[in-house]
Amino acid sequence: MPARRRRPKRVLFYTGITYKIGEVHDGTAVMDWMAQEQERGITITSAATTCMWRGNRINIIDTPGHVDFTAEVERSLRVLDGAVAVFDAVGGVEPQSETVWRQADKYRVPRICFVNKMDRVGADFGRTLTQIREKLQANPVAVQLPLGAEDGFAGVIDLVGRIARRRIGARGDSGRRLDEATAAREALIEKVCEVDDRLLEKYLHGEPIAAEEIVPILRRRTIESVRNEDAPLVPVLCGSAFRNKGVQPLIDAVVDYLPSPADIPAVTGTAPDGDTVLERPARDEAPFSALAFKIMTDPYVGQLAFIRVYSGVMASGATIYNPRLGRRERIGRLLKMHANKREDIQQVYSGDIAAAVGLKTVGTGDTICDRAHPVLLETMEFPTPVITLAIEPKTKADQEKLGQGLAKLTTEDPTFQVRTDDETGQVVVSGMGELHLEIIVDRLRREFGVAATVGRPQVAYRETLTRPALAEGRYVKQTGGRGQYGHVKLRVVPRPAGDGFVFENRIFGGAIPKEFIASVEAGVREAVTTGILAGYPIEDVVVTLLDGSSHDVDSSEMAFKIAGSMAFRNAARQAVPVLLEPIMKVEVVVPEVYMGDIIADINARRGRVKSMEAHGGTQIINARVPLSEMFGYATELRSRTQGRATYTMHFDRYDQVPPAVSEEIVARIQGR
């Protein structure tokens, strides 16, 4: 979850994995091992490690908080059984936090919250708790309260055990019982009693309720609530990782409230036929099944496939089956990862996270399983890239290295895409934001030694159709010998935003032979990738093949592919195509004195202010602004506010470009 820059480092220290506490700002952070992470003080790629606490093994994945690297969060949440959401006590629930919270909701991941940085000026635990409830539509319950705040932050009050924990040394907390925080503890007990009649009876009779009675019920509610229609119950803790306050209680909470693999229902998948539903319980004696959730290129061992084992046992050297490709592969080595460090292991068991060496054809989201018991587990969906830039290698040698580097990076990152512009011959890369592409270019230079010229970032527009249309495509070519003949009639109909592309075959009576239907679809799909207005992909349309004709001798797959492409383009021209642009959700935190100027600037950028919220002498402006208007906004914002304002931005949706702006964009692209 976002804002966890220091959290994993403290966890590793207290669980004995590391002997010193590393910091991002001085380049000694263990989990942020990439050079770009240590230079920028941010997490870019998810890193996995393992530790022990109270006799329990905990697999940890530290994920980025920046929305440009949302794919790392998506694939991590897909395979994790529980999550720790870390919030800034000053900033509260930020836009990135909302995005990640929705991802956790999608995969029904139980979670606990940790309100960090309670020692900073402006820290407010109560406000953050309220924002978790209102902004995230969650059901938070405080299991701790802070002892003081800002400079006076001294520790935490454990409401479950009624213990105050104050830091007295580098490694330990001391506790002494208090009679404080009665109201908060009663609210906690009321939440617990909602699902336990025995405890409710004790509460109504005024009998004392011990921590040993609260913890198992709170654990059950945390795990089970995500599968109910109600808002998930979320225990909330607090502390200051930098001051080493509240770290050990957080690790206790992970063990106490988050599920083990045995607490999670059996994972479901389908047989290779796509219809039969299969279950794989988290037991070592069950048939082996695992999901490859991350691919990484390691300079020493080659391609690593990070896997989460859901059932069964797999040994190093074993042969596995990839049901998506219908191929077998042999596991070369199995590794237990600690960030970028590796430890050879001989076997992995149900619930484990490990890295496999030797899987050359396995990609992100692929299932690997026992050949005798094939299953396809649910894969992952990744957002569409919204920003592009062109890369030109400086020499022929750089061109070869560029191709190799881009191939490896696209394998690692599902939100990074590469194509070649047919008109200019340039290599065009697409990503989730300016920072995302900036990191990609830096990695190409450092890891692959590519010297290249990089263009300015461009917006990844899309096109769609606004009206139904009928058209036909006829491809006839005679060259003296055998000719080419293909004839297709089809209909295009717009679909609601986000519904994607669908091809339907309504041919009856053999007007087009069955062997040519796939060629027509291939031609249509190829035409969809290069739109009518400015060459951008066309989205959200259903194409129905209605009729056509063929020739006994001259018809071929190529002829019908070309005819299908021609028919679609003819229909698209009649269907009034429009340009779509990415709209960003922008949150600006600005001192009140500059609020009017900032709102005027947002309006000038074709933005719409959705809401404003007062926050301790500042205003939080929530707006929707086209991405094309946001380039260079950081510099402009600093200039207008003397460096006192900050902003965050992430993708919200695609929306239609106003006609006047669309004409300008199309004219610029066509004249390029």
Which residues are documented as binding site for GTP? Answer: 62-66, 116-119
The one-letter code for the residue type at 474 is R
Helix (H) or strand (E) holding 158: strand 155-158
C-alpha of 158 from chain center? 33
- The continuous run of DSSP H or E covering 105 comes out as helix 95-106
Contact 155, 245 (CB under 8 A): yes
| Chain position carrying tokens 């995230």 | 136
> Is the separation of the CB atoms in 492 and 542 below 8 Å?
yes
Count of helix runs (H) and strand runs (E) in the chain: 16, 37
**Beta strand ranges found along 376-426 (DSSP E):** 376-377, 387-393, 417-420
CA atoms within 13 A on the CB side of 335: 23
Which token pair is 567? 């028919």
Name the token pair of 65.
């908080």
Q: Give the Cα separation of 583 and 623 in Å (integer).
A: 10
Of 102, 86, 72, give the one whose Cα is nearest residue 232: 102
Contacts with 467 (C-beta within 8 Å, 6 or more apart), sequence order: 494, 574, 575, 576
Q: DSSP code of 265?
A: P
Q: Which of 16, 46, 13 is nearest to 28 (CA)?
A: 13
Q: What is the dihedral of CA 644, 645, 646, 647, to 10 degrees?
A: -170
Query: Where are the strands (E) in 170-326, listed by range?
Result: 173-177, 233-238, 267-270, 277-280, 289-298, 302-311, 314-315, 319-322
Region of 427 (left: φ > 0; alpha: ψ -120 to 50; beta: rest) is: beta
CA dist 622 → 339, 589, 609, 651, 665 (Å): 36, 9, 6, 13, 27
8 A C-beta contact, residue 556 and residue 631 = no
Among residues 138, 154, 156, 132, which one has the least CA distance to residue 146?
156
